[in-house]
Structure 1
Amino acid sequence: MTDTTTFGLHEGSAPSGRRTRLVVHFGGHKTGSSSIQETLQAGNDPKNGFVFLFCGHPNSSAMMQNAFLLPEKLLSIRASEATRADLPAMRDWARTHLRRIILEGIAARPEGPLILSAESISSFVPEEVDMMLAFFQDLPVEPEFIGYIREPAAYLRSSYQEILKLRMPPNPVFAPADATVLPLTHHAVVETLDRRVGRERVQVFIYDRASFPEGSVVRHFFSLLGVDPGAFTRIDSNQGMSQLAVKLLYTYRRLGDCPFANRGPRRVEHKFAEDLGRLQDVPFELHPELRDKARAVNSHIFGWAEARLGRPFPEPEAKAGTGIRSEADLLRFSDEELAKLSAHAAEFGISTADLSADPRAVAEVLCRIRQSYG
């Protein structure tokens, strides 16, 4: 396929009455996708004006990856569970399953759209987008796409927390200065979709809580669907962590001398991280110096955002002299922070008699806490 290839999905290609509206929410990453997905799943009923396509999990990212990723890319993320010989069967199963779920959704005759949500689509390259669109074209659906783009420094701050929550080999545990110089391409899929299906079928918004109804991306998304969000209980999921929680997780991942510090069941690792996240402290922020570096590395996105999205990214709040700047900041603990960790350990009946400001002593206590999760 060439960059000018389209898929007959522009207006006039097929009467809308013969196709069911399919809203594809592609994230992107760190823009409230989990909250959107879990709220949709909780209210999933044709009587509510939509059918949410559930592929075994509210986030259909894994299904979409298995169905449409290029072989080398898919193998790189499934290396622990599949070989190259397994890929054709994996792809066929995913596409067959996805087709069945879409047809079942159509059969439910919703008054509103079918909705599919998978933020993995935000990382699709043009060839993967082409395979996805060809798949949709073979079904009686009319796809449109909705996504959000986050300001680069805010995105990296949020994704850094996610790296620490679910650290799995071979992903490195970045020091903050390394994590913030990563070049981002999470706007590229928007350009591809614009070319393939037309901008009129691709709605993209800056992720800015100040501009959303009641500060909620969930309410904003429901308004785009034409569904009354007041009829649903909003689920706020995967919230940001405090600075202390980030410091503790980094110390655990970097220095923890226990087999599960960098390898463990994702569900258990997530629960461990979420419990640490409840420790009260100031919100995790990057030092302004690192924020400026992240914005400079990704300066190309700023001009694109204003031209494509119709407004600039919001400026981050200036907090001179605050925030995490280096690994040394992450491994330094005050008496107050140690007291909070000690109180948390006591909830599990774990002694902290050997706890000190030495980060290895902190990591040892964290390993004992984590071990109590089984």
Structure 2
Amino acid sequence: MRRQLTEQLSGMGDKTTIISAEDILLMDAAGLAELRDFLSPMASGILLAGYIRAPKGYIESGFQQRVKSGNAEFKITRHLYPGYRPLFEALENTFGTDKVQFWPFKPNHFPNRCVVQDFCRRIGIQLPPDKIIDINDELSLPAIRLLYAYRKYGPGFQKIAVDNPLRGDANAEAVRENQRLVEQLLQLAGPKLHIDNRLIHPILRKQREDIEWMEARLGAPLKDPQAPAGEPVIAAEADLLQFEAPELEWLAEQVGWAASRFKSAEPRHELVAEAVHALRMKLAEHQLAETAQKQQSAPQPRAAKAEKPPKGPFILHIGMQKTGSTSIQLSLKNTAPDERFTYLTLGKKAKASPGVIAGFATRPSDYHLFTKVNWPEEKMDKHRKAMRRQLHRSLKQCGGKTAILSGEDIPLMDEAGLVELRDFLSKRTTDIKVVGYIREPKGYMESSFQQRLKNGKGALNMEGLYPRYQRLFEGFEKAFGADNVQYWLFNTADFPNRCVVQDFCRRIGMDFPADKVITANIALTLPAIRLLYAYRKFGSGYGIGPWMIRENQLLIDQLTKLDGPKLRFDDSMVEPVLNKYREDIQWMETRIGKPFKPQPVPAENIDNAVERQQRSEPTISKETDLLQFEAPELEWLAEQVDWETSRFKPKWQRHELVAEAVHALRLKLADLHLPKTASQEQREAARNRGGKFSKLWQKDVKELVSEAKSARPTYFEKMSNARARALVKIVFRKVNRQLNRPGCVQLQIPGFGKFTTVPVSYEMDGELITSRQIEFSPEKALKSPQKKPNKNDELINRKL
């Protein structure tokens, strides 16, 4: 519900949003405060408004509602009284008295006696009268008399009138039967229910202070109109059992009885109850007959059933990463493409990568998003089946239109998963085209490093940032055929209005309005990257679970507000990598039909002022450049967390202080914008999942092996770096597979340590989420054959 409300509010723009729900008054103060905190970031102003009914009319309506719901007691007690202050004071305390408006419910004063027209007039909405839906759910006094006799002397609310083999849940069927009965009784005309003032006034006298509290807010007294002269007034239960001829005749006609049958009956109220039950039974039988008739008539058009929905072309957009994919996805999802195309989603997000990988990858749990949420194998398998079903339904509903599915992480899938995806699509589409933008290596590496920082990684490994084109894309050519894979060079200078969304639509032949383009995934500046890098390297870690994903996204969004130059790697860092992968670059250049980058223009020949400025911006030539903070970014960070700028002065520990301040900003943003659905202890445990050494596990495996070999060279002197890295990967892959087996909660490895899976449950958006974390307890520290163990031995073994 929270996710759905967030999506609706975010899509409203500057429009006034209306939410209507009368039962919000039943929420407690804590729930109202949480609702306020949830709505405030997404709304420029919140106004609460409601109609207030006078107490006598409210009591009469409440008694009628009880009879509808199955109650058969004539008790006019304080429990029927609304209790204005307990209902509404919490709203004023939470949202502010000036944000809560009360309007008297007086139909005689409404335009055309219509509450809808009065509501629209008060908030300034123009609603045509012919568009108003009038729901009159108030029974007349004759109908209430018949229903009250049935509730008191009939077989009961839960007694099923007709044995329906298709009914499913018996309680639900009883509710439906009673609802049909009440709807039929609404057709019986007559005066309204009026309860004698002598029964109500004692209650109102005791509630005088509460009534005055509400009258002060309305600025007028709460008075009910008097019952019209000559209309009956109910003073005792016996009055509800005094039936008049018109209602008995109406009831007899409904069930096919002779009206004279009621004349000699004693006691009459029992016969009335019998007749009302006969009416309920008749309505239930009629509904059952209609259902059976529909089921019999449904299979008749056999030819229509045999016809399969028309298949249409299919476009699979595969990114690549850092080529404006998010903008393409959000733009096409939020603005319906022209009638020849359909944009498909898996789940509620515009990005299809998680759904496709979950549905078709051989090991979807290895995908970074599923690693963060840490789903158990059973839930992952259930999600896999759900994504396949959803894609099948979506393709079936395309009706021959060209379907578009977009996910820049799809190239991370294994070849077997791509073949399975191809086979799935081939049965449901006519022509599959795989398309993707290709970014030149240096720009990709700069953007990829930034994205990795956003995702929680804090290592600067230049070779690991290189895209490896052939490994990413050759699988598509093998699975779908090289002729069905198209590569487009990502060069915004060649795009219409420098917009990748417009270029994408132009290439596939889609008409798309330029004013509907959504720009997303804004790049961080170099100052913001320096702060985030310090946090990833020296901070408390990304954390595990949906909460942590949200917290980190809030932090990234805030860092985008920090101005400064772009991140640019110095050529001295990039060229060695490009030289190593020269064949891979040529493999991709052959497919796009041109070299990635023309020969650089000498600085003195550059006429473009923007390009000259870029040439003069700082570049990163080594990792320590990312920890050289400048005064403006430290001042900005200090202002965000209410620190004195002088606190950053000690240079020898500045990077740790920056990490501490960024973490303080993360906590501040989480407290301001995220719902308090978990205790502080639960959140802290999720942030620090992995304990004291959690930040170590964000390191690249090469860096991890290098540190281990440097710390204890004796153990690894005969093992190459490549073999050591392979060993680490194999060991932990096997450990993970063993722990994923059903029933495995602990894994003991003699000479190494013990792995234990610990269940973790928490609530998010009203849903109980069950996840797990893996804890490791090492055995006694290894003893070096050449020296006695020093005080760092335990730390080293924990790292290993």
Q: TM-score range by the shorter chain?
A: 0.7 to 0.9
Q: Is the 8 A contact 1:350 1:368 kept in 2?
A: no
**How do 1:301-312 residues align onto structure 2 when only pairs under 5 Å count?**
301-312=584-595
| Alpha carbons of structure 1 residues 74 and 115: separation in structure 2 relative to 1, 3 Å | same
Q: Structure 2 counterpart of 1:212, which letter? A: F
Partner of 2:558: 275
Deviation at 1:139, TM superposition (A): 1.2
Q: Is the 8 A contact 1:181 1:293 kept in 2?
A: no
Partner of 1:192: 475
**How do 1:170-185 residues align onto structure 2 when only pairs under 5 Å count?**
172-175=457-460, 178-185=461-468
Q: How many residues matched?
A: 341
| Alpha carbons of structure 1 residues 315 and 295: separation in structure 2 relative to 1, 3 Å | farther
| Alpha carbons of structure 1 residues 231 and 184: separation in structure 2 relative to 1, 3 Å | closer
Q: Is the 8 A contact 2:342 2:404 kept in 1?
A: yes
Return the alpha-carbon distance in structure 2 between the equivalents of residues 141 and 267 of structure 1: 39
Return the alpha-carbon distance in structure 2 between the equivalents of residues 42 and 160 of structure 1: 29
What secondary structure does 1:119 align onto?
A: coil
Return the alpha-carbon distance in structure 1 between the equivalents of residues 455 and 429 of structure 2: 38
Partner of 2:353: 61
What secondary structure does 2:425 align onto?
A: helix
Return the alpha-carbon distance in structure 2 between the equivalents of residues 262 and 290 of structure 1: 30
Superposed CA offset, 1:249-271 (max 9, x none): 01111122x4x655562232122
Partner of 2:568: 285
For residue 38 of structure 1, the aligned residue among 317, 320, 330 is 330
Superposed CA offset, 1:321-361 (max 9, x none): 93112231111122333223334x1xx55554523352222
Return the alpha-carbon distance in structure 2 between the equivalents of residues 363 and 193 of structure 1: 41
**How do 1:281-360 residues align onto structure 2 when only pairs under 5 Å count?**
281-315=564-598, 319=615, 322-343=618-639, 345=640, 349=642, 351-352=644-645, 354-356=647-649, 357=651, 358-360=654-656
What secondary structure does 1:249 align onto?
A: helix
Deviation at 1:294, TM superposition (A): 3.1
Q: Structure 1 counterpart of 2:404, which letter? A: I
Q: Structure 2 counterpart of 1:306, which letter? A: E
Return the alpha-carbon distance in structure 1 between the equivalents of residues 617 and 338 of structure 2: 52
Residue 135, structure 1, aligned to residue 428, structure 2: no
TM-score by length of 2: 0.40
Return the alpha-carbon distance in structure 1 between the equivalents of residues 439 and 525 of structure 2: 20
Superposed CA offset, 1:89-141 (max 9, x none): 3322221121112212x14x64xx21111122222332111100000122144
Instruction: Pick which of 353-362 and 49-58 moved more.
Output: 353-362
Deviation at 1:83, TM superposition (A): 3.7
Residue 224, structure 1, aligned to residue 507, structure 2: yes
Q: Structure 2 counterpart of 1:53, which letter? A: L
Q: Is the 8 A contact 1:149 1:187 kept in 2?
A: no
Q: Name stretches of at least 5 consecutive residues in structure 1 with no aligned partner.
A: 1-16
For residue 438 of structure 2, the aligned residue among 149, 153, 164 is 149
What secondary structure does 1:229 align onto?
A: coil
Partner of 2:409: 120
Deviation at 1:50, TM superposition (A): 1.8
Return the alpha-carbon distance in structure 1 between the equivalents of residues 494 and 458 of structure 2: 33
| Alpha carbons of structure 1 residues 317 and 278: separation in structure 2 relative to 1, 3 Å | farther
Residue 201, structure 1, aligned to residue 488, structure 2: no
Return the alpha-carbon distance in structure 1 between the equivalents of residues 599 and 656 of structure 2: 34
Superposed CA offset, 1:216-246 (max 9, x none): 2111100112113335521111122111010
Q: Name stretches of at least 5 consecutive residues in structure 2 with no aligned partner.
A: 1-308, 602-614, 671-800
Deviation at 1:181, TM superposition (A): 4.7
Residue 214, structure 1, aligned to residue 519, structure 2: no
Q: Is the 8 A contact 1:150 1:207 kept in 2?
A: yes
Higher relative contact order (CA 8 A, sep 6+): 1
Return the alpha-carbon distance in structure 2 between the equivalents of residues 18 and 99 of structure 1: 13
Deviation at 1:59, TM superposition (A): 0.4
What secondary structure does 1:373 align onto?
A: helix
Partner of 1:11: none
Return the alpha-carbon distance in structure 2 between the equivalents of residues 271 and 294 of structure 1: 34
What secondary structure does 1:354 align onto?
A: helix
Superposed CA offset, 1:168-191 (max 9, x none): xxxx4212xx23455533444533
Instruction: Pick which of 209-218 and 310-319 moved more.
Output: 310-319
Q: Is the 8 A contact 2:358 2:387 kept in 1?
A: yes
Deviation at 1:368, TM superposition (A): 1.7
Greater fraction helix: 2
For residue 21 of structure 1, the aligned residue among 310, 313, 336 is 313
Return the alpha-carbon distance in structure 2 between the equivalents of residues 255 and 182 of structure 1: 21
Q: Is the 8 A contact 2:321 2:408 kept in 1?
A: yes
Give the superposed CA RMSD: 2.7
Deviation at 1:40, TM superposition (A): 0.7
Identity of aligned residues (%): 24
Partner of 1:8: none
Q: Structure 1 counterpart of 2:344, which letter? A: L
| Alpha carbons of structure 1 residues 135 and 181: separation in structure 2 relative to 1, 3 Å | closer
Q: Structure 2 counterpart of 1:50, which letter? A: F
Return the alpha-carbon distance in structure 1 between the equivalents of residues 384 and 353 of structure 2: 14
Return the alpha-carbon distance in structure 1 between the equivalents of residues 599 and 444 of structure 2: 11
Q: Is the 8 A contact 1:252 1:367 kept in 2?
A: yes
Partner of 2:719: none
Q: Structure 2 counterpart of 1:223, which letter? A: R
